[in-house]
Homo-oligomer: A and B are copies of this chain.
Amino acid sequence: MEENRGTGAPAILVVGAGAVGAFFGSALARQGALVSVVCRSEFEDVRAKGFEIASGLLGNHTFRPHRVLRETADYGATPDFVVLSSKVLPSVDRVALLRPVVGPATTIVLIQNGIDIEQEICAAFPRNELLSALAFIGVARTGGGRIHHQSSGWLILGRYPDGITVAAQQLAALLEASGVGCRLTEDVIGARWQKAVWNAAFNPISIMGGVLDTTMMLRTADDQAFVRRVMQEICAIAAALGHPQSPKLVDQLIGHTIGMAGYKTSMALDFENRRPMEIEAILGNTVRAGQRAGVAIPALETLYALAKMIEGKQAASA
């Protein structure tokens, strides 16, 4: 059973609707999609009042989902698209989150961080189309269903493991029409590696010594040389796996980041707020990919070892 039978508008269920899921869900809903959400942490507020989204790009507005659910199983149907936008954590069983609503014609969309996060979903739902997306957005929950959209706001989207499909084009068209950017890519794995060059470097470094914002990680020439070294290790893994990055990428990323106001990575914010960190998705999977490919990645391995100690301390003091 599909919810949109006869309406023509796609039925979309956003599972793990935090700030990212709510933002993109809202953009899709404004184009007529029937967007429902599964959100646990602010369920009561969102069911009562919807999401209040403060955004320069979309304007300040209230997003009232078609349905607001506490559990995926409560949906009782199979949507055209199920969008998973939770964090990727060892403690979160993503397959179990999706299972109740994945029908034969359901397209699965991952808007999640990290490297090598698709195989598990692909293996569990081998007959379904799987789209993988990377969000470039600064957006945060501020409590009680309120969402603060701070910066950027676009997706890179492609079929996993490669290619562009009609469903991907449909989703991208809806987002573009709403004012939110969506770039389609034939090589979403390569795009993930490109994002990892920034993410897998700055995220773990930012949780060392309390919390370091981007300014503190790039203050001196030595700092920049170290960040460059870490990023080059990530590029070497990507190249070994058949996704070579532009030789200019590292310097571009460093130059761009130096040019921005200092800010805190998602991992730094999670660390500071004692929330689970995406260490495995962002860094651990990167390290394991490098080790499998036989690439020398001692700086990444050191960061990973340190990040695991920090995570262990956080868990012990929880």
Contact = CB atoms under 8 A, between A and B. Distances in A.
A212 interface: yes
Contacts of A301: 226, 299
Nearest to A218: B309
A209 B306 contact: yes
A219 interface: yes
A306 B220 contact: no
A111 interface: no
A77 B271 CA distance: 55
Interface string A243-267: 0000000000000000000000000
Contact of A212 (B217, B302, B310): B310
B298 A209 contact: no
Contacts of A33: none
A309 B212 contact: yes
Contacts of A226: 301-302, 305-306, 309
Contacts of A306: 205, 208-209, 226, 306
A48 interface: no
For the residues of A in contact with B, the DSSP-based class is helix
B302 A223 contact: no
A314 B220 CA distance: 14
Interface in A279-298: 298
A312 interface: yes
Interface of A: 205, 207-210, 212, 216-217, 219-220, 222-223, 225-226, 271, 298-299, 301-303, 305-310, 312-314, 316
